[in-house]
Amino acid sequence: MSVMPFSLSSPKSKSDSSGVEVLIRAMMKKHRTPLMIIRRSVLEKQYQRFRKTLPEVTPYYAIKANPHPLVLKTFIKLGACFDVASAAEMKQVLDLGAHPSKIIFANTIKSEEDITFARRRGVRLMTFDNEPELYKFAKFYSGAHVLVRIKVANEGSVVELSLKFGVDSDQAFYLLRKAKSLGLVPMGVSFHVGSQSKNVENYLQALEITSGIFKEARENDLPLKIVDIGGGFPIQHFDDEVGVNFERMATQIRREIKAHFDKQVKFIAEPGRFLVGPAGVLVTQVAGRTFRNNKNYYYLNDGVYADFSGMVFDHCRYEFKTLRRGQKFLSALAGPTCDSFDTLSLNEEIPELYVGDVVYVKNIGAYSCASATAGFNGFAPAKVILV
């Protein structure tokens, strides 16, 4: 994937869409599509928005959402912390300048090699959710700081993560006590309510359960210091989407924190999509067209094997927009590969398009280029440009 930093501010306009379209036209004078445009100003805005709205909670950017070096450098300059899932992710962000103390190794299952790498590079904070993992820590990283991850409700989340991770909460204290007996440093509790979670009750219930674990630990002379509330904070993928209000959700989370925890407790989170999703704009063009099944059928030069991979791996739906105006018709959109699975939508209401016309998607900065294949069928993913 080729990379090109570019300095251009998004033009001021009456709406974000009109500003985005001016930006797209400017980029297309210099670059071929497909293009993934990442707006630095939006990365900064989302980071500051999180810090302002949840001031008690330190964000650790989940780099799996978009590990592009230009994205990581932007967050490093902002002073961000990072959530990594492997030694490779850890090495990437450390080599770019992040400090080991600002990293959490949050994959609950780690290889012996990755644990050793974390020890050698000075990354101490990590999560676990089972006893066998503690024995690996004891052998390869004595003195590691650990958070037990508990299973919590994921109701209403697009991707449910408690199916694979998290110990039952009634076992949490036992595992923390076991960690201490093995020479580790039990620091607290982590949880994750699932990806793109619009149901704030998941967070509130998880915080209440966590406060009970903190109380049990305190009463047994094992005081805890950190609560990791995970990620899952939702964003709007459609302009008129309802039910997404981060500020309202944050207000309720803050109220729950103040009601159940001492001021000395440190809170962290692992936002990924929230920080990088709104910054991304994917620009594609029509490579071919036909009339099939009584509708216009358009083939784009990007698809589910590349930057629309979030439709598969993230269960995401996107709002397709065009630069062309006019009467709208029921249409289908497909990717460029020779696989019928590479179909984006069968029921889009869009103007009639011609070869070369632009179809673009906003709010696609997360779980898109990050999970794109290197070049299935010979079609390369979009060029990433930071503006």
pLDDT of residue 164: 65
Angle between helices 112-121 and 87-95 (to 10 degrees): 20
Q: Is 302 in contact with 282 (CB distance < 8 Å)?
A: yes
Exactly one of 81, 316, 338, 369 is catalytic; name it: 338
Count the helices and strands in the chain (H runs, E runs).
11, 19
C-alpha closest to that of 299 among 243, 247, 340, 258 = 340
CA 245 to chain centre: 17
Concatenating the DSSP letter of every residue in 355-375 gives TT-EEEEES--SSSGGG--S-
Domains of the chain and CATH, by start: 3-38+280-386 (2.40.37.10), 40-276 (3.20.20.10)
Contact 301, 387 (CB under 8 A): no
Where does the pLDDT of residue 278 fall: very low under 50, low under 70, confident under 90, or very high at 90 and above? very high
Q: Does 364 score more than 60 pLDDT?
A: yes
Mean per-residue pLDDT for 52-67? 97
316 is catalytic: no
12 vs 272, more confident: 272
Nearest CA-CA partner of 114 in 147, 152, 86? 86
Query: CA 145 to CA 265: how far, in whole Å?
Result: 15
Give CA separation, 353 vs 121, 265, 328, 329, 368, in Å: 53, 56, 10, 10, 24
Q: How confident is the model at residue 6 (pLDDT cuts 50, 70, 90)?
A: very low
Instruction: Say how many C-beta atoms besides its own lie within 10 A of residue 216's C-beta.
Output: 17
Give pLDDT, residue 326: 95
The single-letter code of the amino acid at 29 is K
The whole-model pTM stands at: 0.91
